A and B are shown apart, each in its own frame.
Chain A
C-alpha cells in the first residue's frame, strides 16, 4: 500500500515588523508516493515555503498535517528519513568527488554498500565516467545529475525539487527533467517539483498553481480539458 502526505486546511503566515504576512490560507493537498506533482506560481507566492511544510521541515501556523504510511497515521516527523531534496544550486560538497557526493547519504546511514550503490546511481544518471571528478570540474547539468543521484540513492519515498532546472539551459533542463522523472518513477518515489518552467511542470501528473494565497489544481482543469477534447474527438 503506497503512503501519502496529507495537508488539511493549513495556513502559513509570518510576523514581520508587527505586520502579519499571510502566504496562504486553508490549503488542502495530498501527495502520494509514486506520483509526480508540480507547483508553479509567481515569485514570492510561497512555493518554497509550501515545500518546507510538505516535507515536514517547517510547521504551518494552522491546520493538520499527517504522514500516512502502511495505513497508519503519523506526524510528519516520521517523514524525515523518507525524503530527499534537489536544489536549484545543486549544493554538492565541493571537496568530494561525484561518487563520494552520491555515496554521502548512504555513508551517513552506515550502509556498507554505499560506494557500490552510488556507482549504480551514477550510472543511471549517465555519469559513471565522471565519478572521480570534483563538482568544480563538472558542468551545471552534470552537477544536477549528481544531485539527483544523491537524492535518490537512499531510495526515499518522496523527492522534493525546488527549481531543479532553474540554473540550466534549455537542453540540459530537458535532460535533467527526463532523468528526474524517470528515476523517481523507477524508484516509485513521490516527486514534488517547484518550478517556473511550464515545460517542466507539464511533465508532472498533477500541476498546481500557487497564487494569491490559494492553490489551484490545474491538472484537474487540464484533465477536464483533455476529457473534453477526447469527448469532442469522440463526437
Chain B
C-alpha cells in the first residue's frame, strides 16, 4: 500500500516533471533554497571573520576598569561570569634618559596579554612589526616610536623609571586594546606586571583594566553584577557605545535582517506559486479518487510527490550553494587574506530546515483541502473566502514562529513580523476600501478605470493576494534601500579617507605656526587646522549639569570633563545645519549677540536639549552663558575634525583663554622622520599616527559596504521573482479574462490598457502599504537595532517609491504580456 503509493507518487512526479507549474515551482524552490543557503553560509563566514577582526580591533569583548585592584573574591566572580580575564595596569609616569625626561602612560601586562587581537612590536626603530605573544620580560620595557624620538633612545639602552633601571628591548607598534581606552594621545610604554609591583607606585595612581572575553549574555550579567557590586567601576564593551562596537552591531543586525527579509520574500513567492500548484494537486487527487482511491491515499501520494521533489532538489542546491559560497569567499579574499572557506554545518541545516518547513506550511492547505473532500467539489475548485483567509492567517502565524526560531535575533524578527503583519492587514483594508469606494464613486463614469476597479473589486480575493505579494516585496525592498542609504551615510561618516594620517589633537599657537612652516618647507599637506579652547559645561538652563540630565550617555560622560569649544564665522564644510540659525545677526559686525552656541545634533538628543536652552561654561576660570541658537551635524566628505560645540568668532573678543588647534596632516612615507623632529622640538605636542588604525578600518568598511550592496541586490532579484510568481499564479485567469473581453468586440489594445491600469492600481495600493510598512519598520527597528535616530525622509521615500512603482508596473505589464497573447480562438478550443 505504502510502497504502492510511493511508486505512484514517483510516477506522477516524473509525469509532471516537465509541466509548467512543476517546473516553475521547482525553479522557485531551488532559487530560494540556493539564495538562503548560500547567504547563511557566507554570512556565517563573514560574521566569524568580523567577529575575530573587530575583537582584534577592540582587544577584548569587554573591559572593566577601576582605580583599585579587584579583590580575589571579586576576581573569581568575574572569572566565573565570563570566559577569560586578563589584568592590565596603567599609570602615568615620567621616564628619564640621559637627563631628558618624558611623561608616558606605562602599561603593565603579563604573559596572557593580549587577550584578543595582535600585539605588534619590532626589534628596530624602522623595522618590520611582528606579532608578539605576551608582554615584556622582567626588567625590560617596550616603548612607542615617539618615546624613542623624544628621549633619543636606541634599542639596548637603559631607561630609568621611578629609580629602577629597565632595558629598552622593543618598539611598541600596536596594542589591540588601545581603541577601548578612548582617544588618548599619551606616549606609550609597556612593562611586565611583576615589575609594576616592584616599582611600588601608590595604588590609587594606578588604573586597573581587566580585559574580558565574554558572550553578549555574559557581558549583560557582568554589567548587572558590576552595577550592584562595583558601582564605581566602568565597563566598556563591544555592544556599547563605542563607534566601532556600534558599527559591528549594525552590521550583524543588517545581515540578520537581510536573511529575515529574504525568508519572508521566499514565503511570499512560494505562497503565490502554491496557488497554481494547489489546483493541479486537487485536480490530480480528484482523478485518483474518481478511480476509487481514498482521499487519504491522495494525500499520501501528494506528500510523497512533494518529498521526492525536495529530496531531488537538495543535492543540487547544496552543491551549487557550496560553489557560490566558495566564489564569494575567494572574491572577498582579495581584501581579507585570512577569510577562510569552510563548511558551516549548522547554518546549512538550519536554513534548509527553515525553508523546508516554509514550503510545507504553504503546501499544507493543499493536503488539508484533499482531506475528506467529495470528487465534485474538487473538480469545482475555487476555495471559498473564509477558509481562504483562515489558511492565510494561520500560515502567517506558523511562518513567524519559524522565522523567530530561524533567526538569532528574536526581537528584530518579532519587530519585522509586527511590521509585516500590520502592513498586510493594512493592505487588505486598503484594497477593500479603495476598490469599494473607487467602484462606488466611479460607477457613474464611463471609461476603462471604473471598469478596472469594478473587475478588481469582483476578484478581490485573488487580487488582494497579488497586491499583498507585490506590496510586501516593495516594502521590504524600500526598507532595505532606506536602511542601506542611512547605514551608508553613517558609515561614510566614520570614513577617515583623505583626512590625513597624522592627527594633531592639541597644538598651541606657536606650535601650529611651527608645523605650518615645516609643512610649507617639506611639502607636507595640512588637511585641516581648526582652533578651539577648553570649556567645561557646568549648567544647563541655570541648573547644574548633574541635575539636568540623569540619563547616562556618551555625551554626558564627555561633558564630565572640559570639552573643546570651537569658533567660526560660518558653518564648517563638514557640518550641516539641522535646526535653528547659524549665527543670527551676523550681518551686524561686532554683534552684541555673541553669546550664541551651536550644539551637535546627537548631543542635543542625548541630553534632551532644545533650541533656546542656555548653557553655562567655565572657560579659564570665568563663567559664560550661551543660548543654543543652532544644532549641527557631521557631514562626511570634508574631513573628520568636527566639534560638538561651536560659537561665533565674535565671542573671542569677550573671552580671554589659551587657544589651541586641532590639525590633520598627510605625510608621505619618506616624511615620517619629520615626526621625530617635531616631537624633539615640542615634547608636549599631542599628536597621533592614524595609518594603521585607519587602514584596518577602511578595508572593513569597504567590505561591509560591498556586502550590504550584495544583499540588497539579492533582495531586488528576489522581488522580481515574487512579482513574476504572482503574475504566473494569475496567468490562466488573466488570459481567459482577456479573451472574454475580446469576445465582446474589444481590441487587444483595450486589454493592454486595462492591464496597465490594473497594474497601476495594484502598484498604488501596494505602494501605500509599502510606505506605511517602511515607516513603521523604521520606527520599530532603527533605534533599537541600529542605534540610528529614525527620521523619515518622506521626499526620499516617495521618490524612491515612485521609481520602484514605475519599475513594478513596467515589470508587471511586461511579464503579463503573455496574458495578452490570448484570443477568442483559444476560448473555442479550450476544454
Q: Does A26 contact B (CB under 8 A)?
A: no
CB distance from A100 to the nearest CB of B (A): 6
Neighbour of A95 across the interface among B450, B462, B744, CB < 8 A: B462
Tell whether A171 is near chain B: CB-to-CB under 8 Å. Answer: no
- Assess the B382–A136 pair: CB atoms within 8 A: yes
B97 CB, min distance to chain A CBs, angstroms: 92
A47 and chain B: residue at smallest CB distance: B828
Known: A52-B825, A110-B447, A162-B828. A85 touches B459 (CB 8 A): no
Asked if B102 CB lies within 8 Å of chain A CBs, one says no
| Contact residues in A for B576 (Cβ distance below 8 Å) | none
Q: Is A181 an interface residue (CB 8 A)?
A: no
In the complex, chain B residues whose CB is within 8 Å of the CB of A57:
742, 823-825
Interface residue? B451 (CB, 8 A): yes
Contact assessment for A112 and B382 in the assembled complex, using a CB-CB cutoff below 8 Å: no
Residues of B within 8 A of A82 (CB): 745
Contact A87 B382 (CB under 8 A): no
Check B458 for interface membership: any CB of A closer than 8 A.
Answer: yes
CB distance from A151 to the nearest CB of B (A): 8
B3-11, B241-249, B491-499, B733-741: which one contacts chain A? B733-741
Select B451's contact among A83, A89, A95, A107, beta carbons within 8 Å. Answer: A107
- Report whether B451 and A110 are in contact in the complex, using a CB–CB cutoff of 8 Å: yes
Would A94 and B382 count as touching, CB distance under 8 A? yes
Q: Is A88 an interface residue (CB 8 A)?
A: yes
Interchain CA distance A91-B746 in the complex, whole Å: 16
Q: Chain A residues near B437: list those with CB within 8 A.
A: none
Known contacts A81-B745, A111-B446; is-contact A96 B458 (Cβ 8 Å) = yes
- The reply to whether the CB of A109 lies closer than 8 angstroms to some CB of chain B is yes
Contact A95 B824 (CB under 8 A): no
- Give 1 or 0 for each of B509-535: 1 = CB within 8 Å of chain A CB: 000000000000000000000000000
Nearest chain A CB to B461 CB, angstrom units: 7
Say whether, besides A85-B743, A105-B744, A108-B744, A95 and B461 are in contact (CB < 8 Å): yes
* Chain B window 370-382, contacts with chain A (Cβ cutoff 8 Å), 1 for yes, 0 for no: 0000000000111
Bound CA span A105–B458, Å: 15
CA distance A52 to B446 in the complex (A): 29
In the complex, are the beta carbons of B446 and A110 less than 8 A apart?
A: yes
- The CA-CA distance from A105 to B740 in the complex, in Å, is 9
Verify B445–A110 contact, CB threshold 8 A.
yes
- The residues of A that contact B451 with a CB separation of less than 8 Å are 107-108, 110
The digit string for B459-501, where 1 denotes a CB below 8 A from any CB of A, is 1011000000000000000000000000000000000000000
* Cα-based distance from A136 to B383 in the complex (angstroms): 11
B830, CB-defined interface residue at 8 Å? yes
**A154 touches B (CB below 8 Å):** yes
CB contacts (< 8 Å) of B744 on chain A: these are: 84, 104-105, 108, 154
Expressed in whole angstroms, the Cα–Cα distance for A112 and B445 within the complex equals 7
Structural contact, B458 and A91, CB atoms closer than 8 A: no
| Contact B740–A108 (Cβ < 8 Å) | no
Interface of B is mostly: helix
Q: A85 contacts B382, CB within 8 Å?
A: no
Tell me the smallest distance from the CB of B160 to a CB of chain A, in Å. Answer: 94
Bound complex: CA A119 to CA B312 (Å): 55
Residues of B within 8 A of A134 (CB): 382
Q: Which residues of B contact A89 (CB under 8 A)?
A: 827, 830-831
Q: How far is the CA of A82 from the CA of B831 in the complex (A)?
A: 26
In the bound complex, how far is the Cα of B743 from the Cα of A105, in angstroms?
9
Number of interface residues of B (CB under 8 A): 36
Cross-interface CB contact of B825 among A48, A84, A88, A154, cutoff 8 Å: A48
- A212 on interface, CB distance cutoff 8 Å: no
B829 beta carbon closer than 8 Å to chain A = yes
* A-contact 0/1 string along B440-457, CB 8 Å cutoff: 000111111011001000
Indicate which residue in A58, A88, A94, A108 contacts B746 across the interface (CB closer than 8 Å): A108
Partner of B828, one of A48, A110, A112: A48
Does B203 count as interface, using CB distance less than 8 angstroms?
no
Asked if A80 is at the interface (CB within 8 A of a chain B CB), the reply is yes
Q: Does A220 contact B (CB under 8 A)?
A: no
Q: Is B747 an interface residue (CB 8 A)?
A: yes
| Complex CA–CA separation, A81 to B750 (angstroms) | 12
Give the complex CA separation of A96 and B736 in angstroms: 13
Residues of A within 8 A of B825 (CB): 48, 52, 57-58
Interface string of A61-99 (1 = CB under 8 A from B): 000000000000000000011111101110101111000
| Chain B nearest Cβ from A107, distance in angstroms | 5
Contact with A along B790-831 (1 / 0, CB 8 A): 000000000000000000000000000000000111011111
Nearest-Cβ distance from residue A33 to partner chain B, whole angstroms: 15
Given A84-B743, A95-B462, A136-B382, residue A107 in contact with residue B454 (CB < 8 A)? yes
Closest chain B CB from A191 CB (angstroms)? 15
Enumerate chain A residues within 8 angstroms of B381, measured Cβ to Cβ: 136
**Complex: A87 Cα to B825 Cα, angstroms:** 10
Contacts of B459 in A (CB 8 A): 93, 95-96
In the complex the two chains form, what is the Cα distance from A57 to B824 in whole Å? 8
Q: Chain A residues near B447 (CB, 8 Å)?
A: 110
A57 to B739, CA, bound (A): 12
Q: How far is the CA of A141 from the CA of B458 in the complex (A)?
A: 23
A85, A88, A154: which contacts B824 (Cβ < 8 A)? A85
A154 to B827, CA, bound (A): 20
**B827 lies within 8 A of A95 (CB):** no
Q: Residue on A with the closest CB to B831?
A: A89
Within 8 A of A (CB), among B335-388: 380-382
Please name all residues of chain A whose beta carbon is closer than 8 Å to the beta carbon of B831 when the two chains form the complex.
89
Residue from the set B740, B829, B830 with the largest chain A CB neighbour count within 10 Å: B740
Q: Does A60 contact B (CB under 8 A)?
A: no
Question: CB within 8 Å of B: which of A142-193?
Answer: 154, 156, 162
The CA of A87 and the CA of B828, in the complex, are separated in Å by 6
Please tell me if A216 contacts chain B, counting CB pairs below 8 Å: no
With known contacts A80-B745, A107-B451, A48–B458 Cβ distance under 8 A: no
For window 667-682 of B, CB contacts with A under 8 Å fall at none
The reply on A51 being an interface residue by CB < 8 A is: yes
- How many Å lie between the Cα of A88 and that of B739 in the bound state? 14
Assembly CA distance A6 to B743 (angstroms) = 20
Q: Which residue of A lies closest to B741 (CB)?
A: A108
Chain B CB count within 10 A is highest, among A110, A111, A156, for A110
Contact of A88 (CB < 8 Å), options: B445, B450, B462, B828:
B828
CB contacts (< 8 Å) of A81 on chain B: these are 745
Once A108-B451, A110-B447, A111-B446 are accepted as A-B contacts, the answer to whether A100 and B745 lie under 8 Å apart by CB is: no
CA distance A111 to B381 in the complex (A): 33
Query: Known: A95-B458, A105-B744. Is A112-B827 also a contact (CB below 8 A)?
Result: no
Chain B residue nearest to A156 (CB atoms) is B745
Is the pair A112, B446 in contact by a Cβ cutoff of 8 Å? yes
Chain A residue nearest to B829 in the complex (CB): A48
Given contacts A84-B744, A84-B745, A108-B741, contact A91 B827 (CB under 8 A): yes
| Interfacial chain B residues near A91, Cβ < 8 Å | 736, 739-740, 743, 827, 830
In whole angstroms, how far apart are the Cα atoms of A42 and B306 in the complex?
A: 43
> CB-CB < 8 A to B382: which residues of A?
94, 134, 136
Interfacial chain B residues near A107, Cβ < 8 Å: 450-451, 454
Cα of A111 to Cα of B445 in the assembled complex, Å: 9
Q: Give complex CA distance A100, B827 in Å.
A: 20
* Chain B nearest Cβ from A182, distance in angstroms: 22
Chain A residues contacting B448 (CB-CB under 8 Å) are 108
A-B contact pairs, 30 of them (CB 8 A): A48-B829, A57-B823, A80-B745, A80-B747, A81-B745, A82-B745, A84-B743, A85-B743, A87-B827, A87-B828, A89-B827, A91-B736, A91-B743, A93-B459, A93-B736, A93-B737, A94-B382, A95-B462, A96-B458, A96-B459, A108-B451, A108-B744, A110-B447, A110-B451, A112-B446, A136-B380, A136-B381, A136-B382, A154-B744, A162-B828
Question: A52-B828, A87-B827 provided; 6 other pairs, C-beta below 8 A?
Answer: A57-B742, A82-B745, A84-B743, A87-B828, A107-B450, A156-B745
- Write the residues of chain A forming the contact surface with B, with a CB cutoff of 8 angstroms: 48, 51-52, 55, 57-58, 80-85, 87-89, 91, 93-96, 100, 104-105, 107-112, 134, 136, 154, 156, 162
